[in-house]
Structure 1
Amino acid sequence: MSHAGRPAEPDKRTLRRELLAVRNRLPDGDLRETAATLAVRALELPELADARVVAAYVSVGSEPGTLALLDALRARGVQVLLPVLLPDNDLDWGAYAGPDSLAEIRHSGRMALFEPSGERLGPDAVTRADVVLLPGLAVDARGLRLGRGGGSYDRVLARLERAGAHPALVVLLYDAEVVERVPEEPHDRPVHAVVTPSGVQRFG
């Protein structure tokens, strides 16, 4: 069973390289404009309107920007949880208390990440979330997400499943990153919605 997904891996690596190359060519002005637009679009989601706890992440580099959305959610009184990368690639969580509460952490072999500097709430804190915002590079017509390949969010999704938790799973992307098909593995689980600057697309 564990070997079932392996033939897809070279395809995933190629697709990741291509998508990252396009992202890395985006001008700074486009990145700022996209972040503001994504926040507006995402806040229209009924799932976020009703959410008390949202697990999110701080975008880095040319990722679709999340900070405007994090601040808007916090202004609504939502508890925003942000990930803390552990040495084994699993994720702990901490509460977002504004931009000043973030620390720039450089993990070996990776770009620097912005992580919450306050109290650690434990890996199971994510099971309290009403909505989980997942980073990704693409989502296909079935709602399957292509991640960066680190496996951290596969663990998060498995933890949610074990706990019987069913938050709304949402990905923020650029328009061109909603594709026809991404390589699939047996453990892949579709997301509920993707938010792009053009709007929201839902998956059944």
Structure 2
Amino acid sequence: MTPAHFEKTPAHVGKPSLRRQLLAARALLSTEDVAAAATVLAGHAVALPELARAHTVAAYVSVGREPGTRPLLDALRARGVRVLLPVLLPDNDLDWGAYRGADSLVPAGRGLLEPDGARLGVHAVLEADAVLLPGLAVDGQGMRLGRGGGSYDRVLARLAGAAPG
């Protein structure tokens, strides 16, 4: 589904229906398309001023047909950036751990990958100079549509409560 299609989606279409449509569209992507997009995404992202000057970045490990983040995670780490990755807690909140390379990722629940090693706490995200969130779509006003678990809504609420740095 293209961004233009998302913008034209009727308001009466509910979030669950829209999520199903977007996930179905992602499922049509080939493995090659996903890998190529990950490389392009990493190239564009590392050039962003917010990431170029960041010392700590909170990000996520993409899975399945999500836009790939692993080349970006490795590029940031190669530049000496501290990368924080989420660890899903039983209540759907997110703890955080440091990314130490692809070999440090371990399987977690729901098909996710998370960093092994020490947990830094739910407030560790506040140490990040930039935060990259997953989402199925974002509208023209910047409203994010996630998977519906509320994990990143909690992160955004924490960030909104933080004093600007």
Same fold (TM over 0.5): yes
Unpaired stretches in structure 2, ≥5 consecutive residues: 1-10
Please state if 1:64 is matched with 2:63.
Answer: no
The CA distance in 2 between the partners of 1:18 and 1:99, in whole Å, is 31
Describe the superposition over 1:47-74 as per-residue Cα deviations: whole angstroms up to 9, x where unpaired.
0000000000000000000000000000
- Select the residue among 73, 79, 82 that pairs with 2:82: 79
Q: CA deviation at 1:164?
A: 2.3
* Aligned ranges 1:172-183 → 2 under 5 Å: none
Q: Cα 1:124–1:165, aligned 2, differ >3 Å: closer, same or farther?
A: farther
Number of aligned residue pairs: give it.
155
SS at match of 1:134: coil
The CA distance in 2 between the partners of 1:57 and 1:27, in whole Å, is 21
Describe the superposition over 1:69-107 as per-residue Cα deviations: whole angstroms up to 9, x where unpaired.
0000000000000000000000000000000010011x2
Aligned to 1:114: 113
* Aligned ranges 1:120-135 → 2 under 5 Å: 120-135=119-134
- Select the residue among 65, 83, 88 that pairs with 2:91: 88
SS at match of 2:120: coil
Aligned to 1:36: 39
- Select the residue among 30, 48, 55 that pairs with 1:45: 48
Please state if 1:144 is matched with 2:143.
Answer: yes
Unpaired stretches in structure 1, ≥5 consecutive residues: 1-7, 167-204
The CA distance in 2 between the partners of 1:52 and 1:9, in whole Å, is 42
Q: Cα 1:9–1:67, aligned 2, differ >3 Å: closer, same or farther?
A: farther
* Aligned ranges 1:91-102 → 2 under 5 Å: 91-102=94-105
Aligned to 1:11: 14
What letter matches 1:117 in structure 2? D
Q: Cα 1:89–1:9, aligned 2, differ >3 Å: closer, same or farther?
A: farther
* Aligned ranges 1:164-179 → 2 under 5 Å: 164-165=163-164
Aligned to 2:3: none
Identity %, equivalent residues: 66
What letter matches 1:60 in structure 2? V
The CA distance in 2 between the partners of 1:130 and 1:50, in whole Å, is 8
* Contact 1:127-1:165 within 8 A present in 2 as well: no
TM-score (norm 2): 0.90
The CA distance in 1 between the partners of 2:117 and 2:70, in whole Å, is 18
The CA distance in 2 between the partners of 1:9 and 1:91, in whole Å, is 31
Q: Identify the structure with the greater helix proportion.
A: 2
The CA distance in 1 between the partners of 2:24 and 2:163, in whole Å, is 37
SS at match of 1:159: helix
The CA distance in 2 between the partners of 1:113 and 1:9, in whole Å, is 32
Runs of 4+ in 1 over 6 A off after TM superposition: none
